[in-house]
Amino acid sequence: MKILFVYPNVTSQRSPQLGICMIASVARQLGHECNMFDLTCIQRGKEVSSFKSNIENIKPDLLAVSCRSNEWPMIEKLFQSVDVGKILKVFGGPHATVAPEETLEIADIVVIGEGENTFSELLKRIEDGEDISNIVGTWTKKDGRIIKNDMRDLILDLDNLPFPYWNIFDSIHYKKSYVMEHFKGAKVVGTFETTRGCPYGCTYCTNDYVRGLYKGKGKWRREKSPQRIIDEVKQFRDEYGLDGIYFIDEVVLTNLERLKKFRDLYVSEIGVPFVFMERPENMTDEKVSIIKEAGAKMVSIGIESGDENIRRNLLNRHHSQETIINAFQTAKKYGLTTYAFTMIGFPDENRESIKNTYKLVKQAQPDKIQTTIFYPLGKTKLCEKTVSEGLFNLCTPMPRHYYDKSCLNFPKNKKKELLLWQYIIANYNSRLAEFLMKYPSNRLILSIFILFHKIYFKLVM
């Protein structure tokens, strides 16, 4: 059977979608031909014609679509513009999991949550000519009604999963990865997943909702063994070479003994620098020293809001200002470059709250920083709050990126001011940012800045 995977990467960010790599690996193990339609390198305005050409040339038996919520409008555009005939349309990924009913407006069958075992069963049933309407872990349509099957059990032993099929993506995702900038002189950077199931419950993240779907379906937090991680990296290295690694896990520094074993194996068998993400409270001296010895080069740490009240009571992130500052200081103590995640534009946030974020960033002194505008992701607690308070309409289109103006029902001037604050925090050490801090609501400054913002993002996005 010919399968055409569809990756509607509207941001054009060069990095493999590991979920697709895993599902493609499952399909190949069962003997199916896997092809890819990837928007990453397709010229703007050519998306529909390129999709049509792929359908006509490959003549797939099945379309497998992995979609994030900000990519849904592009998926609608593609499938409304191109006649795919009677090709079976299988959707999975984040948007399908949180919005299966909406997804079924286009899809024939929706895979909810982890897809490896579900997709494997689906392919086997199709090959055997069996009914596919009652597969655990899916929603589908039959005789005009939606069939909502139960959630499948979580995959408990990640070591038993097949290795990702890296070749489903063009090598540009490894040879010109967006994280390449963190590895001077690197020619190839690999992206790897070592765990599943973030143990935290941030109110702006869909992880908490998905964990609720899996209640009673197995242990949520699961970790690959150090040896499995090393074997996976080796396979990738043998295929492409390797100069750097990005571990995409939300948290890494959890199990101390596992961390020590990983360090020992990684140093002796891999030995290339890597970057990772971590929570402030996990950045202890012992754990950071171990990860540095393993080869860590940079750590990305979530500050999100520098206002402790917003952080604790709105975002459900229960760590103090001191914990955040210490996390960055500990990273620097052991020679790690630091990258901070910050976000503004929350409900209940005011100018003083945002100033507190600026002040905390100044104290933490990250080497690099990302500042985004809050968007309420579907099924999150913060989305429910914004809807109930009349701040957000669920029909509001999601922006292609998180650097655009706020989608909440704020006054126009507040939205403009948020864009200015976004610049100030992201450039917290610059003289211009310090100057703009004094005039965040000045109409002339706001007008000039908004014009600059529009021109910039029209050129780069």
Residue 448, Cβ neighbours under 10 Å: how many?
12
Give the SS3 label for residue 423. helix
Q: Which of 1, 211, 206, 23 is nearest to 111 (CA)?
A: 23
Which option is the CATH number for 177-460: 3.80.30.20, 3.40.30.10, 3.30.1490.20, 2.40.50.140? 3.80.30.20
Confidence (pLDDT) at 399: 76
Helices assigned H by DSSP within 214-320: 226-240, 256-269, 285-294, 308-309
Which option is the CATH number for 2-148: 3.40.50.280, 3.30.70.141, 3.30.420.40, 3.40.50.1110? 3.40.50.280
pLDDT single digits (tens) 35-45: 999 999 999 99
Percentage of residues in the chain having pLDDT higher than 90: 89
Inform me whether the pLDDT recorded for 20 exceeds 80. Answer: yes
pLDDT single digits (tens) 388-410: 999 999 888 777 777 888 999 99
Percentage of residues in the chain having pLDDT higher than 70: 99
Identify residue 388 by its one-letter amino acid code. S
Q: Are 224 and 258 within 8 A, CB to CB?
A: no
Identify residue 71 by its one-letter amino acid code. E
Please state the pTM of the whole predicted model: 0.94
Inform me whether the pLDDT recorded for 183 exceeds 70. Answer: yes
d(CA 126, CA 108): 13
Q: Where are the domains of the chain?
A: 2-148, 177-460
Count of positions (residues) in the chain: 461
Pairing of β 222-223 and β 195-196: antiparallel
d(CA 152, CA 266): 33
Average pLDDT for the chain: 95
Can you state the angle between helices 47-58 and 72-81, rounded to 10 degrees?
A: 60
Residue 275, Cβ neighbours under 10 Å: how many?
21
pLDDT single digits (tens) 276-328: 999 999 999 999 999 999 999 999 999 999 999 999 999 999 999 999 999 99
